[in-house]
Structures are given as structure tokens and as C-alpha cells.
Amino acid sequence: MEQRVVIVTGCSSGIGRALCYALHGKMDTKGRKLFRVFATARRLESLQKLQEDGIEAVACDVTAAQSVEACRAAVIKAAGAVHVLVNNAGMQATGPLVEQPIEHFQMVQDTNCTGPVRMIQAFAPAMIKQGSGLIVNVCSVSSYVDLPLSAAYNASKSGLLSVTNVLRMELEPLGVHVMTVTAGVIASDIGAKNVCDVQRYYDSGSAYGSMADAIKHRMEVLATSGEVMPAEEAAEAIAAAIARPRPPREIVTGARARTALLAGFLQKWLWPGVVERKMSRMFGLDNLRRVAQKQ
Ligand SMILES: NC(=O)c1ccc[n+]([C@@H]2O[C@H](COP(=O)([O-])OP(=O)(O)OC[C@H]3O[C@@H](n4cnc5c(N)ncnc54)[C@H](OP(=O)(O)O)[C@@H]3O)[C@@H](O)[C@H]2O)c1
């Protein structure tokens, strides 16, 4: 069978990095590699270890059109075609929406939602021409459930889910399959790379000053506390789905994913008020009301 060329975005750490290894290790029954893997990241030097381990590397910033085009040209020059595109690059910016720097909000939309569209517009035309291909978008349980202090991320991931569902209908007739990865909690650097400007909530004048510690806690514990799935385990599930002759429409992986999806269902369709009150308590927003009432 022909070796399939895969490009993965955001491979400097976490799920993307683990996915490159998982795909690189996939063999057919005769022991031949199923995939030729191109790992990408903003900083090429962050891919050095992957390169040393035999995975090809190309620089790609999904927020920069020139960088995406240079990446497309480099991969096509090296491999001649791309069969699978995995839109994995992503980031988080925690904080109450009203006081969040607008640049942080925009950066999250550009990375998590517009970035995948930029990649798809670059790579899908060749897939359409060849009449086959697979696009994998790494969405999140946050595409389904809305959490306080997470408006930027929620907006980007629910936007990406809509984009993914629309694309599936638009590309399927042309032979290109679209797969959603709905990720729960997975060990990665996403918390450490959170761009939250937490100091602003400690400064006088913030309406959220009384919960600055809670915001800091949220930012720091992201994907590091409670039940967390190792990135390698999630990557193996994604790689196995990609390797299937007929990849599924959607896979759910990561810790606490089913619980989060159930919460999202209850929030949207059954008991929105109950779920929102519970979440307010969980995130420390009920204290905010008490402090505001005393003033
Ligand atoms: N971990 C979880 O619990 C979880 C849950 C649901 C969904 N997800 C999603 O899974 C995906 C992978 O995240 P992760 O958890 O593995 O976090 P991670 O370890 O922080 O990895 C994110 C990757 O995206 C890259 N990236 C950020 N901005 C980029 C840009 N403009 N262009 C190209 N690459 C960029 C980062 O590169 P730099 O080193 O350059 O910053 C990094 O390689 C994300 O889409 C995330 O939203 C994660």
C-alpha cells in the first residue's frame, strides 16, 4: 500500500508531538511504515528531537499566511502530495471576558479557529484534485460545554466544531473525509503556555479582584490536576482512527470527556440554569456576588 503523507500542526509539545510518534510508529502487516510524517511548529528548533528520531520537520505558524504557504510548498516539494492534515495547534487564554485584553481573545480565535481554516485552504485543493484525503480537526469538549473564565477558548473551539461540521458536508462529495477529535483532559503544555495576564486581576480597579487567586488557580491547573490522560494514550487513539480504512466521523478521547459532554448537553438542552449555577460555584463566581453585595 502507498505510504500516506501526514502533516500535523503544533508539534513542539503535548498531543501534536505524541501524535507524530504514534503515526511514525504505525506499520502495515508487512512491517512497512504506513505514514510519512511531517511535524510542524512555529519554532523549527522545537522539533529537533522529533527530527533526530526520523520525523521530518517544517516551520509553520498557523496564524501567518506566508508561513502556511511556505510550509505547503516545502511539504509538496519533498513529498509530492499530502493525504492527511491534522489541525492540532492550539492555545488557551484564561480570564473573565470583560477584562481580557482583546489581543488575547483575537490570538486564540486566530490560532484555534482561523488557523485550521488557513491550513485547510492551503492543503485541501490538492486533496480535492486527487479525489481523496483526510482532514482531522482537534476540537475539544469545550466545543460542547461553556465554562466560565474560558470565553476565548470556548468561542474558538465551538467555532472550530461548526467549521468542521460544515466542511464535512462540503468536502465529502469531493472525496475528502473530515474527522473531529473531541478531546477531554490530556496532559500537555497548554496550561503552561496560557497567555492569561493574571496580574491585571490583582490590580486595583478589577471587578474580579476578589477572585484573582481563583483565576490564577484555573490558569495553572489546566490539564495538570485531577484525572488526566497521558498525551501518548490520546495520540494512539487518534493515530488508530486515522489509520482506519474508513476513519470515523468523530472520536472522543481524553479524561473526563464523557462527563463534560453530558454537562454540555444538560447546559444547552435540559437544565441550563442549574448547570450554570453549579459552574459559577465551581469557578468561585458565587464569592464574587457576595463581595459585590457587601460593597
Ligand atoms: N490538553 C488538553 O486537555 C486539551 C483538551 C481539549 C483540546 N485540546 C486541544 O489539543 C490541541 C493540542 O494542544 P495541547 O493540549 O497538546 O497543548 P500544547 O502542549 O500547548 O500544544 C499546543 C501546540 O500548538 C502550538 N501552537 C500554538 N500557537 C501556534 C501557532 N500560531 N502556529 C503553530 N503552532 C502553534 C504550540 O506551539 P508553541 O510551542 O510554538 O507555542 C504547541 O506545539 C489544541 O488544539 C488544544 O486546544 C487539548
Domains and CATH numbers, the chain: 4-256 (3.40.50.720)
User: What pTM, to 2 d.p., does this model score?
Assistant: 0.97
Check pocket membership of 12 for ligand 1, CB cut-off 6 A.
yes
Which residue, by CA, sits nearest to atom 1 of ligand 1? 186
Whether the predicted pLDDT of 291 surpasses 90: no
Whether the predicted pLDDT of 268 surpasses 60: yes
Distance in angstroms (rounded) separating the CA atoms of residues 200 and 217 = 15
Whether the predicted pLDDT of 223 surpasses 60: no
The pLDDT confidence band at residue 184, using thresholds 50, 70 and 90, is very high
- Write down the residue that cell numbers 491550513 correspond to: 119
Whether the predicted pLDDT of 64 surpasses 70: yes
Q: Is 153 a catalytic residue?
A: yes
Instruction: Read off the amino acid at residue 78.
Output: A
Distance between Cα 258 and ligand 1 center (Å): 21
Q: Is 201 a catalytic residue?
A: no
Whether the predicted pLDDT of 29 surpasses 80: yes
Per-residue pLDDT tens over the stretch 153-170 = 999 999 999 999 999 999
The pLDDT confidence band at residue 225, using thresholds 50, 70 and 90, is low
Check pocket membership of 9 for ligand 1, CB cut-off 6 A.
yes
Check pocket membership of 143 for ligand 1, CB cut-off 6 A.
no
For residues 154, 156, 162, 166, the Cα torsion angle rounded to the nearest 10 degrees is -170
